[in-house]
Amino acid sequence: MTSGLEGVHLLTTYRCDRECDHCFVWASPQYEATMTIETIRRLLAQADEVGSVRTIYFEGGEPFLYYPVVLEGVRAARSMGFDVGIVTNGYWGTSVEDAEMWLAPLAEIGVSHLSISDDEYHRFSPDDRRARYVVEAANNLGVPVGVIEVCKPGAGAEADGGLYFRGRASDKLAGDYSSREVAELKSCPEDLKTPGRVHIDPQGLVHICQGVVIGDTTSRSLKDIIDEYDPSKHPIASALIEGGPAALVRSFGLELPTDRFADDCHLCYVARVILREDYPGHLGPSEMYGGD
């Protein structure tokens, strides 16, 4: 594949300080897998080798749980010329002054963008102002900042930051909104043919969509994985490209636990759970599927 890869998103950890119902990577306080600084440096070198990567994002789980490591990772990425973004729920923003203390080193390094989650899923209470403190602190320090607001079901899931019924949301939230038939669900929100971004998790697995794996950076370089990726030979991606989740179900003749689904991602996730045992190298790791 000719690389059009521009963004590498490092899932620095599956651990999070909370366990939101909507989370499609099943982030949780119970998970321990996290990237060391050695791992981050190795992945940055591999991203640089690809030649087309411009942006590195640090995500999770909650990356600020391992703040010193992420800080050093951001510093290393900026020294290599990458634009750098961070996604956080802002649990650490207990006041504007406190948030400025956390952000000042990142501002000095030159973070390109900070994304802060602020919605009903992420607030500790209805009057929780942590995310707003972080936004104010970022503005004070000149750090470009944006808010990710995940909509409640039925409140605009097609919008940026909208809810996708995959991962924990498939189990916790999809039931009341499952009214669509399999034959209707023919689309995928990800570009699986020529990915412009990939996610790499703490195990080194490369995801073209969270839970759909195309390689392992501990045994092959990211450049080789991207260069050799042929979607027509990937059993999951090829079916999804052909006709979305409906084609995935049809291609494998799957017997589904229900005949109604909330959206395309819901059907895709349920199908992938069924297929995991037969395709462990393409669907994983267990954290992406609730630890099963």
Q: What are phi and psi of 166, to 5 degrees?
A: -135, 165
Q: What's the confidence (pLDDT) of residue 161?
A: 52
Q: What's the confidence (pLDDT) of residue 1?
A: 53
Tens-of-pLDDT digits for all 292 residues of the chain?
A: 556 999 999 999 999 999 999 898 899 999 999 999 999 999 999 999 999 999 999 999 999 999 999 999 999 999 999 999 999 999 999 999 999 999 999 999 999 999 999 988 888 888 899 999 999 999 999 999 999 888 766 554 443 456 889 999 999 999 888 999 999 999 999 999 999 999 999 999 999 999 999 999 999 999 999 999 999 999 999 999 999 999 999 999 999 999 999 999 999 999 999 999 999 999 999 999 998 7
Q: What's the confidence (pLDDT) of residue 149?
A: 86
Q: What's the confidence (pLDDT) of residue 153?
A: 63
Q: What's the confidence (pLDDT) of residue 254?
A: 97
Residues 33, 88, 30, 215, Cα dihedral to 10°: -30
Q: What's the confidence (pLDDT) of residue 156?
A: 45
Q: What's the confidence (pLDDT) of residue 3?
A: 67
Residue recorded with tokens 């490209």: 241
pTM exceeding the 0.85 threshold for the entire prediction: yes
Q: What's the confidence (pLDDT) of residue 119?
A: 84
Domains recognised in the chain with CATH numbers: 7-88+151-289 (3.20.20)
Q: What's the confidence (pLDDT) of residue 179?
A: 93
Q: What's the confidence (pLDDT) of residue 154?
A: 56
Give the chain as a 3 state SS string.
CCCCCCEEEEECECECCCCCCCCCCCCECCCCCECCHHHHHHHHHHHHHHCCCCEEEEECCCHHHHHHHHHHHHHHHHHCCCEEEEEECCCCCCCHHHHHHHHHHHHHHCCCEEEEECCCCCCCCCCCCHHHHHHHHHHHHCCCEEEECCCCCCCCCCCCCCCCCCCHHHHHCCHHHCCECHHHCCCCCCCCCCCCEEEECCCCEEEEECCEEEEECCCCCHHHHHHHCCHHHCHHHHHHHHHHHHHHHHHHCCCCCCCCECCHHHHHHHHHHHHCCCCCCCECCHHHHCCC
Q: What's the confidence (pLDDT) of residue 159?
A: 38
